[in-house]
């Protein structure tokens, strides 16, 4: 019997000394051999050892009390874990983290070790996101150092970090926080160009979050009415993300707009933006010409900057000196000198452009042409042996030329400076997981029949968990490229058309080409008729 017990105890992981001690205890009782009793004893011992292991990794135990907790688990076994669970559940219910109805589910999670296995103690201490101010100081230094109620502030910090992380994970380009009424604030994310409500918080809780954000963005927490600008950054396992923040006092409280400048998203190549193989070839050629001007136009949020960056990527950086002037810098580009416009500090587009011209640049990228002075300098630079790339707020290619003429650029100068004008819009892509055949109206069915299109080719958005119920996931560009040729140059200089006529004609042409391009995207199963209708209506 002693041999069998010895084997049992050694499998239980006990040392020679300890098993000797246990065997001694069995021996001292001097009772006749009772297998059930021995089995029960061994079972209990196993259970206690298992409880020690659970207690050692349990997130329910504070590190300070872990040894005491392990010893308690060794002696009273499952009872100890039960007490820990009850204590934790009561705390969670009091803090509002757990509803009474969720307790059975939580108990099952605890028994199956789901949360314990997912988050071992040592890993849980490393947060997935850390906020820093622009000089790299952490939240602890900036916000928590003067905190009186440390526990509460720590919780605010966690909430703020979680909200930012949620935004990043949801691919948000903007995060907006504004008062819904006196009692509540709304937090919204702009995803694929559309705002979605992320959560509604009570004013007190949200004010604490706003203060923490203002502190990390280097703003004055006490100033709640006057508009303020700031910036901060976040470190996530994939890299760094920068945020630009603006606040202003509005009726009922304060409004925050946070722009997400995600450095971890890579700069797309021309083909990834949506250009065809032929277009990529000709644009790469133009991007490597010694002089000229490439204009990318479209309304706000149409992805102009992304296209501009992909054009820059096509430039042979080894042979050319590339300088960009941006507001703000959205991606960090290797081998490129990037200048950020800062109106407050007196660094404007015009000043930067003037200084850049003295640095022997080959390629100059102007984030956006907004005023007459910048327009004149950009056109002049394009004519004097530089390649200029710029974005412009205009609805179509001809509209862009009219806009430059409005800004005082002479048609003759413009016609000789311009190389190519690109207009673009972003359309939402159908979600791969839930797209399905569209329900068509009679007139649409007639159209299909007339153009010999199978109606199964036309898809619609349904919505699922992957796309948060919208039916769309991600966006792609629709582009209209106009290469300047002699005909266009003559037309531009002839002055037979007034700018008004030109714009009207251009917009009509752009709209019809947009519809045509859109229809081909629908037939390719990339997007829906509804989306194309929305884009062309906006353009018109
Ligand atoms: Zn979906």
Task: Please write the tens of the pLDDT for every residue from 495-519.
Answer: 666 777 877 877 787 788 888 889 8
Same domain, 229 and 350: no
**Residue 397 and residue 464 share a domain:** yes
Winning range, highest mean pLDDT, from 19-23, 47-51, 93-97, 308-312: 308-312
C-alpha 165 to ligand 1 mean position (Å): 22
Are residues 399 and 276 located together in one domain of the fold? yes
Residue 126: band (very low, low, confident or very high) from pLDDT cuts 50, 70, 90:
low
Residue 366 Cα, ligand 1 centroid: separation in angstroms? 38
- Residue 379 sits at φ, ψ, to 5 deg, of -65, -40
| Rounded distance from Cα 171 to ligand 1 centre (Å) | 15
The sign of the torsion formed by the CA atoms of 405, 407, 409, 415 equals negative
Does residue 23 lie in a domain region?
Answer: no
Residue 504: which domain range?
270-539
Query: For residue 432, how far is its CA from the centre of ligand 1 (angstroms)?
Result: 6
Residue that is last in its domain, among 227, 246, 262? 262
Contact 416, 391 (CB under 8 A): no
Q: What's the pLDDT band for 124 if we cut at 50, 70, 90?
A: very low
- Separation between Cα atoms, residue 53 and residue 50, nearest integer Å: 5
In this structure, the answer to whether residues 455 and 421 fall within a common structural domain is: yes
The pLDDT assigned to 127 comes to 67
Same domain, 139 and 115: no
Please tell me whether residues 152 and 116 are part of one structural domain.
no
pLDDT tier for residue 473 given thresholds of 50, 70 and 90: very high
> What confidence tier does 120 reach under pLDDT thresholds 50, 70, 90?
very low
> Do residues 138 and 117 share a domain?
no
How many Å lie between the centroid of ligand 1 and the Cα of residue 534?
20
169 and 282 inside one domain: no
Q: How far is the CA of 459 from the centre of ligand 1 (A)?
A: 13
Residue 2 lies in a domain: no
Between 47 and 372, the higher pLDDT residue: 372
Any idea which of 140-144, 165-169, 363-367 has the lowest mean pLDDT?
Answer: 140-144
Give the Å distance between the CA of 436 and the centre of ligand 1.
10
Reading the block at residue 139, the tokens are 């939240």
417 and 319, same domain (yes or no): yes
What the block records as the tokens of 412 is 């003759």
Q: How many structural domains comprise the chain? A: 3
Residue 145 has pLDDT above 90, yes or no: no
- In three-state secondary structure terms, 298 is coil
Check residue 291 and give its pLDDT.
Answer: 93
114 C-alpha to center of ligand 1: Å?
A: 28
Between the alpha carbon of residue 381 and those of residues 311, 390, 401, 416, the distances in Å are 18, 12, 17, 12
Residue 19 lies in a domain: no
Query: Ligand 1 center to residue 538 CA distance, Å?
Result: 25
The whole-angstrom distance between residue 79's C-alpha and the CA centroid of its chain comes to 46
Ligand 1 center from residue 461 Cα (angstroms): 8
- In angstroms, what is the span from residue 238 Cα to ligand 1's centroid? 25
Q: How far is the CA of 516 from the centre of ligand 1 (A)?
A: 26
Cα of 428 to ligand 1 centre, how many Å? 12
The token pair that represents 110 in the structure block: 């605890």
- Identify whether 308 is part of a domain: yes
- What's the mean per-residue pLDDT of the chain? 84
- Considering the domain architecture, whether residues 159 and 66 belong to the same structural domain is answered as no
Strand duo 436-437 + 459-460: pairing: antiparallel
- Residues with beta carbon < 5 A to ion ligand 1? 431, 433-434, 464, 466-467
Q: Which residue has the higher pLDDT, 92 or 276?
A: 276
- Could you report the per-residue pLDDT of 439-460, keeping only the tens digit for each? 888 888 888 888 888 888 899 9
Residue-level pLDDT at 76: 83
Which of 81, 98, 121 is the last residue in one of the domains? 121
CATH number, domain of 358, equals 3.40.50.300
- The Cα 152–Cα 158 span in angstroms is 10
Q: For 341-434, where are the E strands, in sequence order?
A: 363-366, 387-392, 418-430
- The answer to whether residue 16 is domain-embedded is no
For helices 66-76 and 35-57, angle between their N-to-C axes, nearest 10 degrees: 160
- The per-residue pLDDT for 389 is 96
The residues, ordered by sequence, that sit 6+ positions from 331 with a Cβ below 8 Å of its Cβ are 261, 263, 265, 267, 309
140 secondary structure, DSSP code = I
Considering the domain boundaries, does residue 70 fall inside one? yes
Q: State residue 42's pLDDT score.
A: 86
pLDDT (tens digit per residue) in 291-318:
999 999 999 889 899 999 999 999 998 8
Q: How far is the CA of 473 from the centre of ligand 1 (A)?
A: 7
Residues 6+ apart with CB under 8 A from 223: none
Q: Over the stretch 59-99, which tens digit does the pLDDT of each residue have?
A: 677 666 777 888 888 888 888 878 888 887 887 787 667 77
pLDDT at 115 over 50: no
Do 374 and 346 touch, CB atoms closer than 8 A?
A: no
In a domain, 105, yes or no: yes
Distance CA 219, CA 238 (A): 27
Pull the structure tokens for residue 196: 């979605």
Q: What are phi and psi of 148, to 5 degrees?
A: -90, -45
On whether both 328 and 424 belong to a single domain, the answer is yes
Q: What is the pTM of this model?
A: 0.70
Domain boundary among 214, 238, 262: 262
Residue 11 lies in a domain: no
Distance 314 CA to ligand 1 centre (A): 34
Q: What is the mean pLDDT of residues 98-109?
A: 78
Cα–ligand 1 centroid distance for 430 (angstroms): 8
Are β-strands 292-297 and 253-262 bridged in parallel, bridged antiparallel, or unpaired?
A: unpaired
Q: pLDDT: is 468 or 58 the higher one?
A: 468
Q: Look at residue 7 and tell me whether its pLDDT is greater than 60.
A: no
* CATH number of the CATH domain containing 144: 3.30.450.90
Calculate ∠ Cα 366-239-300, nearest 5°: 35
Q: Cα of 399 to ligand 1 centre, how many Å? A: 36
Same domain, 88 and 177: no
d(CA 243, CA 259): 5
Question: Residue 96 has what pLDDT?
Answer: 67
Q: Tell me the mean pLDDT in the region 140-161.
A: 79
Centroid of ligand 1 to alpha carbon of 169 (angstroms): 16
Alpha-carbon distances, residue 308 vs 39, 52, 55, 275, 279 (angstroms): 75, 60, 56, 13, 15
pLDDT average, residue stretch 215-240: 91
Going 78 to 79 to 80 to 81, the CA torsion angle's sign is: positive
């Amino acid at each position: 019997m002693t041999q069998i017990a010895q084997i049992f105890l050694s499998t239980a992981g006990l040392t020679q000394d300890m098993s000797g001690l246990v065997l001694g205890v069995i021996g001292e009782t001097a009772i006749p051999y009772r297998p059930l009793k021995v089995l029960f004893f061994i079972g209990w011992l196993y259970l206690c050892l298992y409880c020690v292991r659970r207690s050692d990794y349990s997130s329910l135990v504070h590190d300070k009390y872990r040894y005491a907790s392990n010893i308690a688990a060794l002696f009273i076994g499952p009872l100890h874990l039960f007490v820990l669970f009850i204590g934790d559940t009561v705390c969670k219910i009091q803090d509002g983290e757990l509803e009474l109805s969720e307790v059975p589910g939580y108990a099952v999670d605890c028994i199956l070790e789901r949360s314990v296995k997912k988050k071992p103690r040592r890993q849980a201490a490393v947060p997935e996101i850390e906020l820093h101010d622009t000089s790299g100081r952490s939240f602890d230094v900036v916000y928590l150092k003067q905190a009186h109620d440390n526990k509460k502030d720590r919780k605010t910090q966690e909430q703020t970090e979680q909200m930012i992380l949620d935004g990043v994970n949801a691919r948000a380009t903007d995060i907006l926080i504004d008062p819904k009424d006196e009692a509540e604030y709304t937090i919204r994310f702009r995803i694929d160009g559309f705002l979605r409500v992320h959560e509604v918080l009570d004013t007190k809780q949200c004010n604490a979050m706003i203060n923490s954000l203002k502190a990390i963005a280097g703003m004055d927490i006490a100033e709640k009415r006057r508009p303020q600008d700031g910036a901060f950054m976040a470190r996530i396992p994939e890299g760094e993300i920068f945020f630009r923040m603006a606040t202003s006092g509005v009726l009922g409280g304060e409004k925050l707009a946070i722009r997400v400048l995600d450095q971890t998203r890579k700069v797309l190549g021309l083909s990834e933006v949506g250009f065809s193989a032929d277009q990529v070839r000709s644009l790469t050629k133009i991007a490597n010409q010694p002089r000229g001007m490439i204009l990318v136009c479209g309304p706000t949020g149409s992805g102009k900057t992304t296209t501009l960056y992909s054009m820059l990527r096509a430039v042979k950086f080894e042979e050319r000196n590339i300088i960009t002037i941006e507001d703000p810098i959205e991606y960090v580009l290797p081998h490129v000198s990037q200048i950020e416009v800062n109106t407050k500090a007196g660094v404007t587009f015009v000043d930067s452009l003037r200084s850049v011209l003295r640095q022997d640049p080959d390629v100059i990228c102007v984030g956006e042409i907004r005023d007459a002075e910048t327009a004149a300098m950009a056109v002049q630079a394009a004519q004097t042996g530089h390649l200029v790339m710029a974005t412009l707020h205009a609805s179509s290619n001809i509209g862009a030329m009219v806009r430059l003429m409005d800004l005082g650029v002479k048609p003759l100068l413009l016609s000789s400076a311009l190389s190519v004008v690109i207009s673009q819009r972003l359309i939402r892509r159908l979600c791969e997981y839930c797209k399905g055949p569209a329900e068509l109206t009679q007139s649409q069915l007639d159209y299909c029949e007339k153009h010999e299109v199978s109606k199964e080719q036309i898809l619609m958005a349904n919505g699922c968990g992957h796309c948060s119920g919208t039916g769309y996931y991600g966006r792609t560009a629709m582009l209209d490229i106009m290469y300047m040729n002699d005909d266009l140059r003559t037309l531009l200089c002839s002055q037979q058309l007034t700018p008004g006529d030109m714009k009207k004609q251009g917009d009509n042409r752009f709209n019809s080409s947009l519809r045509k391009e859109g229809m081909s995207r629908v037939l390719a199963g990339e997007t829906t008729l509804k989306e194309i209708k929305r884009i062309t209506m906006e353009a018109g």
